[in-house]
Structure 1
Amino acid sequence: MKFGPTETIKTINPDGSILFSLEQPLADFPEKITEKLHFWAEKTPDKTFIARRNSEGNWQELSYAETLRRVENIAQYLLNQEFTEDQTIVILSENSLEHALLVLASVHIGIAYTPISPPYSLVSDDFGKLKHCLALMTPKLIFAQDGKVYEKALNLAKTMFPDAEIISVTNTQYLDFAELLKIDATEKVQEAHDKISADTVAKILFTSGSTGLPKGVINTHGMWSANLQQISQTFAFMQTEPPVFVDWLPWNHTFGGNHNFGLALYNGGTLFIDDGKPTQKGIEKTVQNLREISPTAYFNVPKGFEMLIPYLENDTQLRENFFKNLRFFFYAGASLAQPIWNRLEELSEETTGKKVPIITGLGCTESGPSAMFAAWEGSFSGLLGVPVAGMKVKLVPDGDKLEARYHAPNVTKGYWRNPEATAQAFDEEGFYKTGDAVKFLDENNPSKGLVFDGRIAEDFKLSTGTWVNVGILKSKVLSAGSPIVQDVVIAGLDREYIGAILFLNPDACRKLANLSAETSNKEAYQHEEVQKYIDQLLIKLGENATGSASKIVKAVIAIEPPSIDLGEITDKGSLNQRAVLKHRAALVEEIYSV
C-alpha cells in the first residue's frame, strides 16, 4: 500500500514559534468541487458512485452518469427559484441519496447550503440551536427526508420563514422531491457553474456549539477541493485504486460530509451509506452491511470500533469479508483506547496474516477537516503525524505548551455572518488558532510527527499551582477503563486534588455485573461489581501517576447521560469539559465534599 512521503521542514522563528510543514508540495486541484463529478461521469459513467438500502432492504445504486444527470435537473429547479445572494438551502435530515443529490446540485451552481445536525430537530426540547442555525442561514429552501419524522422542526422553520419551500421524500405534505427530478436541465445550469470560483461558498458547517451557540464555518469550493487533494496525496493509493467506503458518519459533520463523502467523489470511488451507527440497535445494521460490502478503508469514531470488535471476534464470515480488501482503519472524534487499538491489530493479523494500519491525525471543521496525518505503520493512539501538503503549521508557545495554528488553502476564511468570531479566530499573520496543544515525538527528528498534548483551554491549575494536562489524563483514563468507562471529565480547578466525572457504558456494566438487559442504567452503575471496578481503576491509575498533576483521587459516576441541549455533547459524541462541569456542579461538589 502506498502512502505519501513524510519528510518535513522545521524552522524556529526568532519569537520562539516554530514553523512545521511537509516537504512535498501540494499538487493542482480543481477550482470547483463538482468538476470531479463531470470527470468521473465521463470516464466511468456506469460505475456506482453512491448507494443506500431502500425500504425493502435492497441496495439502490446511482452511477456517476445518473448522478450527474439528476444533479443537473435539480440544479435547474433551483435556478428557477431565483435565489438571492442572502438565501440558502437548509438540510435537516440524515444521510440519503436525495440529500447527496441536493448537496451536489446546490454547490454545482453556487448556492450555499448547510446540513444541520438532526438531533437539533429530533432530540432537542427547546429547538434553541435549530432556531439559531435557521436564523443565521435565511433559507429559501428546506429539505427533510421524512416529512412526518421532522414535522415539528419543519413547522418551526415554516413559522420562521413562511415563504421558504419545504421539500421531503416520504410522508410528505410538502413538495415531493421526485418533482425536482422531472425538470429538464438547460444551458443555464452550465452557465451558473462556469461563474463559480475557488472562493465561492460551497457549504456552511456548524460547529458543535460546545462553548455557546454553533458557529457556521465557511467552506469554499477551493477549501474543500484543496483538502481532498491533500488527503489523496496522503493516501496515495486512492489515486490509482478508487476507494470503497461503508460509512455512517453524518454529513452535517466535516468528517463524514467533507472527508468521507468528498474522498469517494474526488477519487472515483463508491460510497455505501450505512444507516447504522454505534448504538445497541444501530450496530446490527452496520454489521449486516459489512457482511456484504468489503471496504477498502474504514472510517469510524472510537466507540464504533469498540462496538464492532465483538462481532468480528464471533463471526468468521463478517471478519473475512471485512478484512478482505481493507487497506487501513481511520479514527477521529476522540482518543482510541489502546486496548481497542491492540485488538483491531490482532484481529486483522489473525485474519490476513498482517496488521492492517490504524491511522489518525488532527484537524477541525475550520481546516476542512484534515491538517495532519500519521499515515504509516507502527503509529499509536495520540500520535498525530505530520502536516498535509501545502499546510503550514505554526507552533506557538503558550505557557509550557505549544498551540497548533494553521495556514493553508484548506483553512476556512471565517465564520458565516459573524465577523467578530472571524477576527478572533486568526492571529496577526493569518494563522487559524486551533486551541490544540501538540509536541514533537522526537525533537531531533520532526518527521516522526507530533503527538497530542491536550487542549489549551481545558488545562487548569490545582490550588498548589500545579498544571493539569487534561487531554493526556483523559486518554489514560479511557485506555485503562475501557470498556466500562465510556467518557470522562476532569475536575480540579483551584482545588487540592484532581477529581473525575465518569460516564459509563451501561451495556458493559450490565455484562460485568451479570445483570439482565432490562436492568436500569442507574442500577447497573450502582452495582457493587461496577463500584469495585471503579475503585480498582483509580488504584491502577494512581500506581502509574507521577505526582498530584496526574493522580485522580476521587471519581463520581454521572447517572444521567450528557445533554445535547446543554451543550455537553457534540455531534461526534465527545464531551465538552466546560459544559459538563458547569451543568453538573453538584457532582463536582460531591467529589470535593469531606
Structure 2
Amino acid sequence: MLADFHPVNVHDFGVEVEYRDNGEQVVRCPRPLDDYAVRITDRLEYWADKTPDAIFVAQRNEEGEWEKLTYRETLERVTSIAAWLLDKNLSAERPVMCLSGNSIEHLLLALGSQYIGVPYSPISTAYSLISTDYGKLRHVFDLLTPGLVFVDNLGPFRDAIDAVIPADLPLVAVSKEHGDDGLKNPVTLFSELLDTPACAAADAARDATNGDTIAKFMFTSGSTGMPKAVINTQRMICANQVMMNSLMEFLQEEPPVLVDWLPWNHTFGGNHNIGIALYNGGSLYIDHGKPTHKAFGVTLKNLTDVAPTVYFNVPKGYELLVKELRAHPEVAKKFFSRLQLMHFAAAGLSQHIWDAIDELAIEHTGKKVPMITGLGATETAPAALFASIVECASGVIGTPLPGIELKLVPNGDKMEARVRGSSVTPGYWRAEEQTAKAFDEEGFYCLGDAVKYIDPEKPGRGFRFDGRVSEDFKLDTGTWVSVGTLRAHIIHFFAPYIQDVVIAGHDRDYVSAMVFADIGHCRKLIHDGDQLSDLEVLRSPRVRETFQRLLNEMAETATGSSTCIRRLRFLEEAPSIDLNEVTDKGSINQRAVLKNRDALVKDLYSEQPSDEVMILSR
C-alpha cells in the first residue's frame, strides 16, 4: 500500500501493552524519547548560529509583498524585546497577554517574553472582536492578571480594551490608527521595543530558566464551560517537538516550509506548527486567510507564491482547497510540487474530500501524498498519538508517540483514554480543584475521550476515536448513546449539507437531532437559490425533502435505538459565542445549545410538534 504514496520518512514504531488484572491497559511506544532542548528559544539561537540567513518567518505587508525575517534577524529582535521587557515588573503572576492574531510582531514578542522566563498568553480574537458582552475576555483577564497587553492595531480592539482593561495597565501596539484617542492606558509602539539594545541581564534571565519554567498560558476552547488556562512549560513544548520528530523524521532531513493560517491561541497552530518550523530550522509563512469562502482567496494567493513541504489544516480548509485546486491547476501543480505530508485535526475529514485530494495529487505528481492525523489536546502540547500512513483514515488516531503512556480505563462499555508523559501539563493556572479532577491517582491526565482498537488482536495497528465520555448519555431504556460517534456518522451521511449537529435524547425514549445546516450547499439544491435568504433556503420544500429522504435512508442503517434519529430540525439561529454555544474555533458546546434552546428540544419531543420538526417515516 505504501507504494501508492510518495516516499517520506515517517515511522511506525508499534506498541507495547501492559494488561492489568482490573481490566486497565497501559500502552507505550517501544522507542524511548530522545533528548530535547531546555527551552524553545535555544533552538532559535541554534539556527541563528548554524543557518543565520535562512528565512524563519514571513508575512505580507500592506503592499502585498512578503516581509521576511532570517534566523539571525529574528534573534536580534527577540533579544532587544527581552531587554525592554526586563524592568516592566512581569512574571507568571503578571504575564504578557496578546489580544490580536498571528503576526511577526506577535511571534517576536512571544519569543522575547519566553527568552527571559516571562509567560505569554495568546487570546482568541473572537473574545474582543466578535463577542458583544466581552464575558470570556473578562474571564481570562481576571484569571491571568496580566502586566502588559499587546495588540497589533489599537483601533479594532478599542471597545474591548475600554470594557475590560484597567486604565493604568500598559499596552504595546504596532499601530495606533486613532485608537488612542481618549485612551487612558500608557501605550508604547512596538518599534520602541526593537530599538532597545540587547543586554547581558536578559541573557542572565534566560540562563535562570529551565524546563519547568512556564512558557505560555494556553486557554482551552471552552467547549464544556469557561476556558481554563493550561500551563505550558518549556519542557512540554520541547519534548513534544522531539516526540513528533522521532515519528516524522523527514522534518529533520530538510527544513520544513509551512504556509499556515491556524490561530496561535490554539495549540495546533501555536505550539504544533510554530514549533515544527522553529525546532527544525524551517520557514513559517503566515497565511492571513481562513477556511471560509470569503477569506480563502488569501490562502490561494499565498499557495501560488509558496509551495509548502508539509501542510496542516482543518477539514473545512481541505474542502475549500480541493475546490480551488480543481479550478486552478497551475496552483495545484505548485502546491504538490514538494509536498511530503499533509495533516488534519479538529474534526473528521469526509471521505469524498480525502479521495479528491488523492486524485489531485495523482493527477499532478503520479502518486498520493500521505495524509495523517492523531489525537492531542491543549494539555498535551498537543500531540499524544499519531496514526501511521497505512492505517490513517477519518476517526483513526494511531498509537502513542515516544515518551507517551496511554492508559485505558474501562468506563461502561468503552475504554477511557488517559495519558502521561513529559509533554503533559502540570495543571491549570490558579485552579487547584480543576487540576486535581483532571488527573488520576497515578498522574495520568484524563482526556475525556474514549478510544477503541482498530483490531484488538493486533494492537500495533492503533486506535480509533470512540467519542467524548462526558457527552454520552442514556435513553430512558438504559441504552447508551455515543454522541461523538453518532454526530460524526450524521455529518458524514448528510454530507455536504450539514455543518454541525447537536444530539438530544437524554432520559428520553428516542434520539433526535438539531442541525446547523451548511447553507451554501443547501442553496445549490434550489433553482435560483442565490436569490433566497438563508431562512428561505432552510424552509424551502427542496431542502426539507432532501433532509427527510436522508433521515429515512440513515434509519435503514441504524443498528438500534442508540443510532436511529427519529426526529430532526434545523437550528435557524447561529450558535452564540456569548452564550458559550460555540468556541472561537467553531466547536459546538452540546450541553450549552441544549440548555439555551430548551424550548426547541421540548418541541422535538412534543406529541404534536411544530411543522419545523421532520419525523422519521417508517
Instruction: Name the TM-score class by shorter chain.
Output: over 0.9
% identity of equivalent residues? 47
1:572 CA displacement? 2.4
The one-letter code sitting in structure 2 at the alignment partner of 1:144 is V
Q: 1:325 aligns with which of 321, 334, 338?
A: 338
1:462 aligns with 2:475: yes
Conservation of the 8 A alpha-carbon contact between 2:483 and 2:503: yes
1:39 aligns with 2:46: yes
Q: Counterpart of 1:16?
A: 23
Conservation of the 8 A alpha-carbon contact between 1:358 and 1:377: no
Q: Which whole-Å CA distance do the structure 1 matches of 2:343 and 2:214 have between them?
A: 28
Give CA-to-partner distance per residue, 1:334-377, whole Å, 9 cap, x none: 12122222222222222211111221100110001111000313
Listed as ranges, the matches of 1:121-520 within 5 Å are 121-159=128-166, 162-171=168-177, 173=180, 174-517=187-530, 519-520=532-533
Conservation of the 8 A alpha-carbon contact between 2:257 and 2:283: yes
Q: Which whole-Å CA distance do the structure 1 matches of 2:285 and 2:276 have between them?
A: 13
Conservation of the 8 A alpha-carbon contact between 2:405 and 2:421: yes
Partner-residue secondary structure (3-state), 1:348: helix
1:103 aligns with 2:110: yes
Q: Which whole-Å CA distance do the structure 2 matches of 1:214 and 1:148 have between them?
A: 26
- CA distance 1:518–1:203, shift in 2 (3 Å): farther
Partner-residue secondary structure (3-state), 1:34: helix
1:131 CA displacement? 0.5
Q: 2:581 aligns with which of 544, 563, 568?
A: 568
Conservation of the 8 A alpha-carbon contact between 2:385 and 2:401: yes
Q: Which whole-Å CA distance do the structure 1 matches of 2:440 and 2:67 have between them?
A: 48
Q: Counterpart of 1:118?
A: 125
Conservation of the 8 A alpha-carbon contact between 1:70 and 1:181: yes
Q: Counterpart of 2:100?
A: 93
Conservation of the 8 A alpha-carbon contact between 1:337 and 1:475: no
Conservation of the 8 A alpha-carbon contact between 1:339 and 1:479: no
The one-letter code sitting in structure 1 at the alignment partner of 2:263 is P
Q: Which whole-Å CA distance do the structure 1 matches of 2:175 and 2:83 have between them?
A: 19
Give CA-to-partner distance per residue, 1:535-563, whole Å, 9 cap, x none: 12212211211111111111111111111
Give CA-to-partner distance per residue, 1:198-255, whole Å, 9 cap, x none: 0000000011222222110000000110111111112110011111111111000000
- CA distance 1:199–1:533, shift in 2 (3 Å): same
Conservation of the 8 A alpha-carbon contact between 2:374 and 2:384: yes
Conservation of the 8 A alpha-carbon contact between 2:220 and 2:227: yes
The 10-residue stretch of structure 1 (417-426 or 339-348) with the greater mean CA deviation from structure 2: 339-348
Q: Which whole-Å CA distance do the structure 2 matches of 1:84 and 1:510 have between them?
A: 52
The one-letter code sitting in structure 2 at the alignment partner of 1:418 is A
Conservation of the 8 A alpha-carbon contact between 1:373 and 1:384: yes
Q: Counterpart of 2:547?
A: 534
Conservation of the 8 A alpha-carbon contact between 2:92 and 2:214: no
User: What count of residue pairs does the alignment treat as equivalent?
Assistant: 593
1:588 aligns with 2:588: no
Q: Counterpart of 2:5?
A: none
Partner-residue secondary structure (3-state), 2:561: coil
Q: Which whole-Å CA distance do the structure 2 matches of 1:51 and 1:514 have between them?
A: 44
The one-letter code sitting in structure 1 at the alignment partner of 2:594 is L
Conservation of the 8 A alpha-carbon contact between 1:357 and 1:378: no
Query: Unaligned 5+ residue runs, structure 2?
Result: 1-7, 181-186, 608-618
Conservation of the 8 A alpha-carbon contact between 1:139 and 1:164: no
Q: 1:72 aligns with which of 68, 73, 79?
A: 79
Q: Which whole-Å CA distance do the structure 1 matches of 2:530 and 2:233 have between them?
A: 47
Partner-residue secondary structure (3-state), 1:393: strand
1:157 CA displacement? 4.0
1:305 CA displacement? 1.1
The one-letter code sitting in structure 2 at the alignment partner of 1:34 is T
Conservation of the 8 A alpha-carbon contact between 1:158 and 1:164: no
The one-letter code sitting in structure 1 at the alignment partner of 2:256 is P
The one-letter code sitting in structure 2 at the alignment partner of 1:396 is V
1:84 CA displacement? 4.7
The one-letter code sitting in structure 2 at the alignment partner of 1:270 is S
Conservation of the 8 A alpha-carbon contact between 1:339 and 1:482: no
Question: Aligned-residue CA RMSD in angstroms?
Answer: 1.3
Query: TM-score by structure 2 length?
Result: 0.94
The one-letter code sitting in structure 2 at the alignment partner of 1:258 is N
Partner-residue secondary structure (3-state), 1:436: strand
The 10-residue stretch of structure 1 (501-510 or 341-350) with the greater mean CA deviation from structure 2: 341-350
Conservation of the 8 A alpha-carbon contact between 2:12 and 2:388: no
Partner-residue secondary structure (3-state), 1:405: strand
Q: Which whole-Å CA distance do the structure 1 matches of 2:603 and 2:329 have between them?
A: 47
Conservation of the 8 A alpha-carbon contact between 1:515 and 1:524: no
Q: Counterpart of 1:60?
A: 67
1:429 CA displacement? 0.5
The 10-residue stretch of structure 1 (511-520 or 270-279) with the greater mean CA deviation from structure 2: 511-520
Partner-residue secondary structure (3-state), 1:148: helix
Give CA-to-partner distance per residue, 1:129-172, whole Å, 9 cap, x none: 1011111111111001111011112223432x623334343525
The one-letter code sitting in structure 2 at the alignment partner of 1:82 is N
Q: Which whole-Å CA distance do the structure 1 matches of 2:17 and 2:494 have between them?
A: 37
Conservation of the 8 A alpha-carbon contact between 1:568 and 1:575: yes
Moved over 6 A (4+): none
Q: Which whole-Å CA distance do the structure 2 matches of 1:302 and 1:514 have between them?
A: 28
Partner-residue secondary structure (3-state), 2:44: helix
Query: Unaligned 5+ residue runs, structure 1?
Result: none
Give CA-to-partner distance per residue, 1:414-458, whole Å, 9 cap, x none: 001111111111000000011100011111111100101101011
Q: Which whole-Å CA distance do the structure 2 matches of 1:234 and 1:537 have between them?
A: 41
The one-letter code sitting in structure 1 at the alignment partner of 2:388 is A
1:565 CA displacement? 1.2
1:94 CA displacement? 0.6
Q: Which whole-Å CA distance do the structure 1 matches of 2:527 and 2:140 have between them?
A: 45
Q: Which whole-Å CA distance do the structure 2 matches of 1:375 and 1:162 have between them?
A: 52
Q: Which whole-Å CA distance do the structure 2 matches of 1:241 and 1:589 have between them?
A: 58
